[in-house]
Amino acid sequence: AHDKAHKLKSSVGLLQAKELLELLDKIEIYSLKKQQLDQLAILIETTIEKFNLLKPMLEAEYEAATQTA
């Protein structure tokens, strides 16, 4: 599981998902510190939209990774 997660994490970076990672960081930090909670809904919605755009590419990367593992 670790190896697959690591490969997927690398793929996210390679697929230029920096914005998705930044959104997830904000959600994590804001909710942990209980700050800017009014922004969480839009951040979550935006994150889901970005993820849905990347999902087909991640699935293709996952397939390639599991076939060679």
Sequence-ordered list of residues with C-beta below 8 angstroms from that of 17, at least 6 positions apart, any chain: 50, 54
pLDDT at 67 (0 to 100): 87
Rounded CA-CA distance 25/19 in Å is 10
pLDDT at 69: 58
Could you read off the pLDDT of 2-61 as tens digits, one per residue?
Answer: 566 666 666 666 666 788 888 889 999 999 999 899 999 999 999 899 888 888 877 887
Radius of gyration of the chain (CA): 14
Calpha distance 40→17 (Å, rounded): 19
